[in-house]
Amino acid sequence: MRRVIFEPEHEQFRSHVRRFFEKEVAPHGERWRQQGFVDREIYRKAGDQGLLLTWADEKYGGAGVADFRFSQIIIEENISHGEIGFYINLHSNLVAPYIDALGTDEQKMRWLPDCVRGDKILAVAMTEPMAGSDLAGMKTRAEDRGSYWLLNGSKTYISNGQIADLIVVAARTDPSSRHGIGLFVVEAGMEGFARGKRLKKMGLSAQDTSELFFSDVQVPKANLLGTPTEGFRYLTRFLASERLVAAVGSMAAAQTAFDITLDFVKERRAFGKPIGAFQNTRFVLADLRAQLDAVQSFIDQCVLLHNANELMGDDAAKCKLLASELEGKVVDACVQLHGGAGYMEEYRISRLFTDARVTRIFAGTSEIMKEIIGRGLGLDERKLG
Q: Decide: 4 and 69 in contact? Cβ < 8 Å.
A: no
Scanning the chain, the segments in alpha helix (DSSP H) are 8-20, 29-35, 41-48, 68-81, 88-89, 96-102, 105-117, 231-237, 239-267, 279-307, 313-338, 348-356, 366-376, 381-384
pLDDT of 158 reads: 96
Residue 26 φ/ψ, nearest 5 degrees: -55, -40
**SS3 of 320, please?**
helix
CA atoms of 203 and 331, how far apart (whole Å): 13
274: pLDDT confidence band, cut at 50, 70 and 90?
A: very high
Distance, CA of 205 to CA of 350 (rounded, Å): 13
What are 175-212's pLDDT values in tens digits?
888 789 999 999 999 999 999 989 999 999 999 999 99
Q: What's the pLDDT tens digit per position in 64-111?
A: 999 999 999 999 999 999 999 999 999 999 999 999 999 999 999 999
Q: 4-36, pLDDT tens digit by residue?
A: 999 999 999 999 999 999 999 999 999 999 999
**Least reliable range by pLDDT among 35-49, 91-105, 302-316, 367-381:** 367-381
Q: How confident is the model at residue 380 (pLDDT cuts 50, 70, 90)?
A: confident
- Per-residue model confidence (pLDDT) at position 385: 61
Q: Which residues pair with 151 in a beta bridge?
A: 142, 217
In angstroms, rounded to a whole number, what is the distance separating the alpha carbons of residues 232 and 183?
Answer: 9
Q: How far is CA 91 from CA 168, 191, 299, 345, in A?
A: 11, 24, 21, 28
Residues 349, 332: contact at Cβ < 8 Å?
no
Mark 118-148 as b/e (b = at least 16 C-beta within 10 Å). bebbbbbbbbbeebeeebeebebbbeeeeeb
All domains of the chain in start order, with CATH: 8-120 (1.10.540.10), 123-229 (2.40.110.10), 238-384 (1.20.140.10)
Report percent pLDDT > 90 for the chain: 90
Is the pLDDT confidence value at 332 over 80?
Answer: yes
pLDDT score at 382: 72
How far is the C-alpha of 196 from the C-alpha of 142, rounded, in Å? 20
Active site residue ranges: 242
- Angstrom distance (rounded) from CA 286 to CA 280: 10
Q: What is the pLDDT of residues 137-171, one digit of tens each?
A: 789 999 999 999 999 999 999 999 999 999 999 99
What is the pLDDT, as a whole number, of residue 133?
60
Burial class (CB in 10 A: 0-12, 13-18, 19+), 72: buried
